[in-house]
Structure 1
Amino acid sequence: MSLYRTELRRLAKRRFTRWMTLLGLLVLATVVVGTFLSNQKIDDAAMAKAERAAEQQWQRDVRSTEQFRAECERVKAAGTAEPGQFPADCSEITPPPREAVEAQWFLPSTFDFRENFGVTLLTLAAILALVGYVVGASFVGAEWSTGGMMNLLLWRPKRLTVLLTKLAALLTGVLALAVTTTALWFGSFWLIAVLRGSTARMTSGAWQSFALTGLRGVALVLVGATLGFALASLGRHTAMALGGAIAVMVVGQFAVAVLLDLAGVKFFQAWLLPTYIAAWMEKKVTLENWEACQAVYFGECKPETLDITWQQSSVLLAVSLVVILGGALWAMRRRDVS
């Protein structure tokens, strides 16, 4: 019997795998439903309503300005004005022009596929990566904690072959889940855009960009599953991977962020893992340092910036993958199985 097919069936039949997958899919379904309900298509009626709201707001602003100017004139005439309370000349208080209040400010939320879909791919990748990480850790961690790994090695004594076959089965299952879910994600949000938003300006370049982002998301899911698998194998228990994730994301990231911020370190976000995950998915994340504001000749304040690119993120992910998975393989080969 093929070890690969056996491990693939074992992965699919595990209750934890099914429940964790179902939980992840329910969270994603909630995001889709919430997006659908919180957006609506902009039609002529909605535009007319927004125009009326803009007109009413402008009229309120005009009345408020006139009241403020009348108060200024009254206080100036009485000589009771406090320093800085009003301008030197009350005629400087003028109502805003009508075009200053735009109707688009009063339009309801609508889902523009080209503008809004890219952000949702980060949510999709993050949730699926979490599912892959936990499922991968549990898949091999349970084998170590229950003694199943020792029994399996009696049947197949080649340690690295057994471990890598388990990993291949895990990645096959996770890849199938990620690809299927990503396809459904594209279809769901395209339907939302058709019914509750707009699909305008969707060129071939835009589709290509979204497709590449989706592929990077699938790669992130596979990396997450591999890291969870490797950490659990390295510690020979699921708790090793889960505890490591909690330590890195909650204790490490939060503590590092607070300490670096208090120390006044520029671009402290560059030391945080979520920054690189976002850069991997969005191709680039620009960090800003407003404390080093650079004034230009017309008085505008431009902060100092630092770009984190997807290439830098790929190096970090690759190094983490090589070190942790390599450590797990080395430990599997060198340590006693007992």
Structure 2
Amino acid sequence: MGALLKVELTRLRWRRAVVLLLAAAVLVPAVVVGATAWGTRPLSEADLASAESDFGGRFLRQEVRSCGREPQFYGLEDVAAAELPEACRLEVVSSYVGRSPLNLSESLEGGAMVVVASVLVLLMVMLGTTFVGHDWNTGSMSNQLLFEARRGRVWAAKALAVGAVGLLVALLVSLACWLALVAIASSRDLSTGDGVLLDGLEQCLRTGLVAAGAAFGGYALTMLLRSTVATLGVVFALTVLGGTLIGVLGGQETQRWQPQLNVMAAMTNEVTYYDDSGLEPACLTGMARPRLDCDATQRIGAVQGGSYVGVVLLALGAASVVSFRRRDVP
């Protein structure tokens, strides 16, 4: 198995399309981090003066006073009283300009790190299908089986190769992006918050695991369909139409099974969605008693999302390996 794995890794390394995908897996996240750093850069004195001039002195003072009275509504509840006026001024002007300071927690929940993770997962799906699709397209799969007739070993070696590369690339790239954002925040004297650094590292690990699963899924589906184009078509249909079909057929209560929500939960630790199907009728009519729980927010955790993804990949892998072992190879 070790020799087969080395052969598959070498074959993977020399595929031009794979090299381009790996380059994109580095460059696109780098652009995302760069754009985030630029879009959250501190306001200069010229920016402040221009914004204050456009904002209007009277309205600016009113908004700053409102911030001083209720800083919790501006995210400044932890600011010392002596520093609050200047902090309120910066917050109000920043909101007007549309340039907020870099927030690492927001980057993890729905900002740069989520974009990076989504890009990596998509590229790893393409890597898995491109790698083995070339073998089917050129007819080299039959030649490979001349040297190793045990199809299960060939299938497993290819799966390990794409999974390992997907895990390594996604983990290293996401870690580099996260540490870059942390360094940027530190250089600007921005507070990272308790436990945020560790949360980011854990999210990078989850991103690597999901990306490895995505690479494996792209590979397994292509081994089943024997076509890169067919695999990409199925992935597109599941991504765009699958969730829509689930929602149309089942309503709000089926959102728990939406593929996108579960993949996102597996990467980001938790996602929320709205489902009022289980609420009491009084909640929907506005006649609910004070103690009645009318919260329609539902949550999918990382374990639930990861289990969903794992079951799908396990079923896909089983179908793929059975098909490869039993069907004729042209």
- What is the match of residue 20 of structure 2? 19
How many residues were matched structurally?
A: 298
**Residue type matched to 1:287 in 2?**
Y
Give, in angstroms, the shift of residue 180 of structure 1: 2.1
Q: Secondary structure of the residue that 1:111 maps to in structure 2?
A: coil
- What is the match of residue 299 of structure 2? 307
Q: Is the 8 A contact 1:140 1:233 kept in 2?
A: yes
Q: Is the 8 A contact 2:30 2:177 kept in 1?
A: no
Structure 1 ranges of 4+ moved more than 6 A: 42-52, 295-298
Q: Is the 8 A contact 1:289 1:303 kept in 2?
A: no
Q: CA, structure 1 residues 192+132, in 2 after alignment: closer, same or farther (shift >3 Å)?
A: same
Q: Is the 8 A contact 2:120 2:170 kept in 1?
A: yes
Aligned-partner Cα distance in 1 for 2:160–2:240: 30
- TM-score, normalised on structure 2? 0.78
Q: 2:209 aligns with which of 209, 213, 219?
A: 219
Q: Secondary structure of the residue that 2:41 maps to in structure 1?
A: coil
- What is the match of residue 242 of structure 2? 252
Q: Is the 8 A contact 1:58 1:98 kept in 2?
A: no
- TM-score, normalised on structure 1? 0.76
Q: CA, structure 1 residues 49+113, in 2 after alignment: closer, same or farther (shift >3 Å)?
A: farther
Give, in angstroms, the shift of residue 334 of structure 1: 1.6
Q: Is the 8 A contact 1:118 1:210 kept in 2?
A: no
- What is the match of residue 89 of structure 1? none
Q: Secondary structure of the residue that 2:26 maps to in structure 1?
A: helix
Q: Is the 8 A contact 1:113 1:199 kept in 2?
A: no
Give, in angstroms, the shift of residue 207 of structure 1: 2.4
- Write out per-residue CA displacement over residues 74-132 of structure 1, whole angstroms, 9 at most, x where no aligned residue: xxxxxxxxxxxxxxxxxxxxxx8984795323224110334434533322221111111
- What is the match of residue 164 of structure 2? 172
**Between Structure 1 and Structure 2, whose CA radius of gyration is higher?**
1
- What is the match of residue 285 of structure 1? 271
Q: CA, structure 1 residues 55+13, in 2 after alignment: closer, same or farther (shift >3 Å)?
A: same
Aligned-partner Cα distance in 2 for 1:166–1:97: 59
- What is the match of residue 160 of structure 1? 152
- 2:317 corresponds to 1:325: yes
Aligned-partner Cα distance in 1 for 2:67–2:258: 46
Higher strand share: 1
The aligned runs of 1:90-109 (5 Å cut-off) are 99=69, 103=89, 104-107=91-94, 108-109=99-100
Aligned-partner Cα distance in 1 for 2:288–2:186: 44
Greater Cα shift, 149-158 or 102-111 = 102-111
Gaps of 5+ in 1: 62-95
- What is the match of residue 3 of structure 1? 4
Greater Cα shift, 32-41 or 172-181 = 172-181
Aligned-partner Cα distance in 2 for 1:199–1:244: 44
Q: 2:104 aligns with which of 104, 113, 128?
A: 113
Q: Is the 8 A contact 1:36 1:192 kept in 2?
A: yes
Q: Is the 8 A contact 1:213 1:281 kept in 2?
A: yes
- What is the match of residue 242 of structure 1? 232
Aligned-partner Cα distance in 2 for 1:148–1:312: 40
- What is the match of residue 57 of structure 1? 59
RMSD (CA atoms): 3.4
- What is the match of residue 135 of structure 1? 127
- Write out per-residue CA displacement over residues 7-59 of structure 1, whole angstroms, 9 at most, x where no aligned residue: 11110111100112223333212211211111123689988988885853157
Q: CA, structure 1 residues 38+97, in 2 after alignment: closer, same or farther (shift >3 Å)?
A: closer
The aligned runs of 1:67-106 (5 Å cut-off) are 99=69, 103=89, 104-106=91-93
The aligned runs of 1:260-275 (5 Å cut-off) are 265-267=251-253, 269-275=255-261
Aligned-partner Cα distance in 1 for 2:289–2:121: 47
Q: Is the 8 A contact 2:52 2:60 kept in 1?
A: no
Q: Is the 8 A contact 1:231 1:324 kept in 2?
A: yes
Q: Secondary structure of the residue that 1:2 maps to in structure 2?
A: helix
Q: Is the 8 A contact 1:159 1:332 kept in 2?
A: yes
**Residue type matched to 2:10 in 1?**
R
Give % identity.
25
Aligned-partner Cα distance in 2 for 1:97–1:110: 17
Give, in angstroms, the shift of residue 281 of structure 1: 2.2
Q: Secondary structure of the residue that 2:296 maps to in structure 1?
A: strand
- What is the match of residue 208 of structure 1? 198
Q: 1:233 aligns with which of 202, 223, 226?
A: 223
Give, in angstroms, the shift of residue 240 of structure 1: 2.8
- What is the match of residue 64 of structure 1? none
Greater Cα shift, 238-247 or 102-111 = 102-111
